[in-house]
Amino acid sequence: MLRDAVRAFLEKDADLAQRTMAVEEQANLLRNSINAELMELSRRNQLSAAALTPLMTIARRYERVSDQAKNLCEEVLYMCTGEFAKHKSGDTFRILFFDLRNACLSQMAEGLGNAMHVPRFQFSSAGAAPEPMDARAVKFLGEKGIDISSQASKGLEQVPEWDQFQVVVALGTLARKALPTRPGKTIYFTWPIKDPAEVEGSPEVVKAAFETAYSSVEAHIKELLGAILEEPQTQSKP
């Protein structure tokens, strides 16, 4: 993609730029496949926790190259045709969930939000000091019919153009303090929801904590979407 994007720029080739942009989704799928394989190796204790995040970061950085190549192709299209491709995604409303570790609660929020399949809305998540995904969160949401196994822990710098998200939600006061504020029109919220990963006790106690967090996140997301769309959101699954 990078080679073709540069060639499209140098040769002012709009058709090549268009074809190159179409490959970007394959890079996303490849990254998700790599992350899923790494998570499975970690679950089987065939990959150390210390190695999981760096390897996921490597996959993400390679995929980020494809993002940058796509951006270059968008500039080529504008240069050649006057068509500003970036404006095509302007209808997408982006919401970012942020907590300290991006291992459990924020991942649940990202998965739950995207599982609602509300048109034009995209949810993502990040953490101040990312740690490997909590396997309990993956299993819990899986039982709810929501697959987050392809999601990966990441920091803000790994979220493409995170400062262009319209809404950033800090999950807890500590997360809000750790969240850098960027100038612009981004709206910041703080939701005081306890991370179930921090709860200790019997399996029943932990399961109850996950249920409480899930219900709270779901209610908050519905309320937020309702406010943005000016209509109540009652459906949580497709």
For 110-162, the pLDDT digits (tens) are: 999 999 999 889 999 999 999 989 999 999 999 999 999 888 888 888 887 77
Looking at 44, 68, 88, which one is the last position of a domain?
88
Say if 237 falls within a structural domain: no
Could you tell me the pLDDT band of residue 238, with boundaries at 50, 70 and 90? Answer: very low
Residues 106 and 222 in one domain: yes
* Residue carrying structure tokens 């209509």: 231
CB atoms within 10 A of CB 157: 9
Say if 61 falls within a structural domain: yes
User: Is residue 96 within 8 Å of 162, Cβ to Cβ?
Assistant: yes
pTM, whole model, 2 decimals? 0.64
Question: Which residue range forms the structural domain that includes residue 46?
Answer: 2-88
Say if 235 falls within a structural domain: no
Residues 29 and 78 in one domain: yes
Give residue-wise pLDDT tens across range 47-57: 888 888 888 88
User: Is residue 187 within 8 Å of 114, Cβ to Cβ?
Assistant: no
- Percent of all residues in the chain with a pLDDT value above 70, rounded to a whole number: 92
User: Is residue 181 within 8 Å of 188, Cβ to Cβ?
Assistant: yes
Say if 11 falls within a structural domain: yes
Return the amino acid letter for 158: Q
Is the pLDDT confidence value at 187 over 60? yes
In which element (H, E) is residue 213 found?
helix 203-229
Looking at 88, 109, 130, which one is the last position of a domain?
88
User: Is residue 233 within 8 Å of 118, Cβ to Cβ?
Assistant: yes
DSSP secondary structure letter of residue 180 = P
